[in-house]
Amino acid sequence: MLDVHQGAKRTIHHADALVWLAGQPPLSGCSIITSMPDISEFPKFTLPEWKTWFTDTAALVLTRCPDEGLTLFFQTDIKRDGVWVDKGYLCQKAAERTGHELVAHKIICRAPAGITTFGRPAYSHLLCFSKSIRPEIAKSLTDVLPDAGETTWTRGMGTKACELACRMVMNYTDTHTIVDPFCGHGSVLAVANSLGLNAIGVELSLKRAKKAMSLKLA
């Protein structure tokens, strides 16, 4: 483990996320923040095959979050052959299967409002699911984040989006550990540590796992 800001801890598992998740019980004392892999990372999959994989994996992620925690998915829609693929819809399909409810839906801008973009939308979804938690209105946070913040790589979650997700966990739960089973370079983990939360990441790529272990943010 690595000691980081405010005594928080960070653990990285170099492993296949599905295998790791399947071997875990519900992660007591944890909330989950993650971004599920895009079809571009599965060159041998057809679109229907990837949709099935995505929904099944999202359902597995949801089942590993304890009742006292939240599961948050940060996802950007894609376009295939002129047709939009709504990843938020796929997440909700998984949640219906596992008995989770959508308790918050935030929009993260990837480009300023009014700008025309091509291929991918100018926004991402931040979807928050729970079986039992219902956030208090007095603790509400912004619904539209105008800037996702800095990223360490093209598939990374912006630092401001990471902070919003972590603050939702801090506002709405008593959990003190963030788990990201597809952690990439570890932006979510680094932001969680900077806020005093412990963090656990899982990453298949050894190079990215090493980056996730060492990443520090200003």
Whole-number CA gyration radius for the chain:
16
For the chain, how many residues are written?
A: 218
Residue 93 has phi, psi (to 5 degrees) of: -60, -45
Look at residue 23 in the predicted model and tell me its pLDDT: 97
Q: What is the mean pLDDT of residues 132-147?
A: 94
CATH code (residue 175): 3.40.50.150
51-105: per-residue pLDDT in tens? 999 999 999 999 999 999 999 999 999 988 888 999 999 999 999 999 999 999 9
Strand partners, 93: none
Question: CB 26: neighbour CB atoms within 10 A?
Answer: 12
**Residue numbers of the domain that contains 196:** 2-214
7-57: per-residue pLDDT in tens? 799 999 999 999 999 999 999 999 999 999 999 999 999 999 999 999 999
Q: Taking phi first (over 0 means left), then psi (-120 to 50 degrees means alpha), and beta for anything else, what does residue 25 get?
A: beta
Between the alpha carbon of residue 97 and those of residues 26, 85, 100, 179, 180, the distances in Å are 17, 19, 8, 21, 21
**Residue at token pair 């409002």:** 113
pLDDT, greater one: 155 or 114: 114
- For residue 24, the 8-state DSSP code is -
150-197: per-residue pLDDT in tens? 988 777 899 999 999 999 999 999 999 999 999 999 999 999 999 999
Q: What does the alpha-carbon distance between residue 34 and residue 72 come to, in Å, rounded to a whole number? A: 6
Query: Residue 132 above 80 pLDDT?
Result: yes
Domains identified in the chain, total number: 1
Q: What is the pTM of this model?
A: 0.94
- For residue 6, the 8-state DSSP code is G
Angle at 60 between CA 179 and CA 204, to 5 degrees: 55
